């Protein structure tokens, strides 16, 4: 465990690179179950498990990169591609025994809660990003999904390997809600997590596409904006559906998807605002009356 701030960015990258990354307990159990029926398992089955866990996803992508060889023209950007490149049985041989986050942090229960909170947020962001990428007819929606899942990977790793420092950042932000994340990260860590994220992507030879999709500085690109808006919505909705930032999120998402903010709200599963016709319909239904029929669903835009 990291107890005090490390000297520089390279020191952080070296530490994370030299230590095995644990996975969520549920992931480990699901992989064990799949391994028992290895003859009936395919890459899609493994991908479905990994894509619920940002830690497992990055482990697979980082592990496969040195094995690509010169015969591949393109990069391996998805878990399913990685598994098929490696092979089912070799995959299970390598990942047969994995460290588990819940065991790693069993003496740090508050840090474990913090990590699980960010992991759940990442899962939600990846679902939003994937749904919107399909709506936008993205040629590889899985890449967008993975970028959203891994967007806050550095924060998850901090909770895992430097729980005291992660808790210190959390305490300072709770004490001063106006304190920007980048500022408090500089104060406590001597670096910003966005810098660490990009450095890890480079050190682990992750596909060039992923750090580009996770880089907020390229927000003008539709695919990057898809990722950023999904991450923002997941972060804000984690505070409750009454978070003050959500109306702006709905508007921005609507601009990306060519939908009204009201249609976006319904699409992401947010409850209707108080006082709206939809909210009154829900109350009416709860009282035993039949609510009016919903409006017809909007038709997704056709590919150009």
- 196-221: pLDDT as tens digits: 999 999 999 998 889 999 988 888 89
* The pLDDT of residue 281 is above 50: no
Closest CA to 266 of 288, 294, 302: 294
Report domain 107-267's class.
Answer: mainly alpha
What pLDDT sits at residue 218? 87
Confirm if 125 and 149 have CB atoms less than 8 A apart.
yes
The pLDDT of 10-20, averaged and rounded, is 97
Of the pLDDT bands very low, low, confident and very high (cuts 50, 70, 90), residue 300 is very low
| Core vs surface per residue 253-274: b (16+ CB within 10 A) or e | bbebbebebebbbbbbebebee
With pLDDT > 70 as the criterion, what percentage of the chain qualifies? 88
Cα–Cα distance, 225 to 256 (Å, whole number): 8
* The pLDDT of residue 178 is above 80: yes
Determine the Cα angle at 296 with ends 294 and 300, to 5°.
135
Cα–Cα distance, 205 to 64 (Å, whole number): 10
Determine the Cα angle at 152 with ends 41 and 174, to 5°.
135
Closest CA to 201 of 128, 151, 162: 151
The pLDDT of 251-262, averaged and rounded, is 98
Contacts (Cβ under 8 Å, ≥6 apart) of 101: 22, 23, 24, 25, 55, 112, 115, 160
Report pLDDT digits (tens) over 33-57.
999 999 999 999 999 999 999 999 9
The pLDDT of 168-174, averaged and rounded, is 96
Of the pLDDT bands very low, low, confident and very high (cuts 50, 70, 90), residue 290 is very low
Of the pLDDT bands very low, low, confident and very high (cuts 50, 70, 90), residue 279 is very low
Cα–Cα distance, 27 to 32 (Å, whole number): 9
Region of 234 (left: φ > 0; alpha: ψ -120 to 50; beta: rest) is alpha
The pLDDT of 253-272, averaged and rounded, is 96
Map out the domains of the chain as residue ranges: 23-98, 107-267
Alpha helices, DSSP H, located in the chain = 9-18, 25-35, 43-50, 54-64, 79-86, 88-94, 101-104, 109-135, 141-150, 153-161, 163-175, 181-189, 193-203, 209-213, 222-237, 246-257, 261-267, 277-286
* The pLDDT of residue 286 is above 50: no
What pLDDT sits at residue 39? 92
């Amino acid at each position: 465990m990291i107890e005090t701030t490390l000297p520089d960015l390279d020191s952080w990258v070296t530490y994370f690179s030299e230590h095995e990354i644990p996975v969520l307990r549920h992931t480990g159990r699901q992989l064990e179950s799949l391994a028992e029926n290895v003859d009936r398992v395919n890459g899609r089955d493994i991908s479905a498990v990994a894509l619920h866990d940002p830690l497992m996803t990055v482990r697979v992508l980082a592990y496969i990169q040195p094995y690509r060889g010169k015969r591949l023209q393109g990069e391996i950007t998805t878990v399913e591609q990685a598994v098929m490149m490696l092979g089912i049985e070799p995959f299970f041989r390598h990942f047969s025994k994995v460290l588990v986050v819940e065991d790693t942090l069993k003496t740090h229960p508050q840090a474990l809660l913090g990590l699980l909170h960010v992991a759940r947020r990442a899962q939600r962001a990846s679902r939003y990003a994937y749904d919107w990428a399909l709506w936008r007819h993205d040629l590889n929606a899985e890449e967008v999904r993975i970028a959203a899942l891994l967007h806050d990977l550095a924060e998850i790793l901090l909770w895992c390997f430097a729980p005291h420092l992660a808790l210190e950042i959390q305490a300072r932000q709770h004490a001063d809600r106006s304190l920007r994340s980048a500022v408090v990260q500089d104060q406590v860590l001597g670096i910003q997590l966005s810098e660490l994220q990009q450095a890890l992507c480079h050190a682990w030879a992750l596909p060039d596409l992923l750090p580009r999709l996770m880089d907020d500085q390229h927000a003008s690109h539709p695919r990057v904006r898809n990722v950023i808006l999904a991450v923002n919505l997941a972060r804000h909705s984690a505070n409750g559906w009454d978070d003050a930032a959500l109306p702006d999120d709905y508007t921005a998402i609507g601009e990306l998807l060519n939908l009204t903010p009201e249609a976006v709200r319904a699409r992401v599963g947010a409850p209707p605002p108080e006082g709206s016709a939809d909210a009154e319909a829900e109350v009416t239904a709860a009282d035993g009356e039949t609510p009016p029929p919903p409006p017809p669903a909007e038709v997704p835009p056709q590919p150009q």
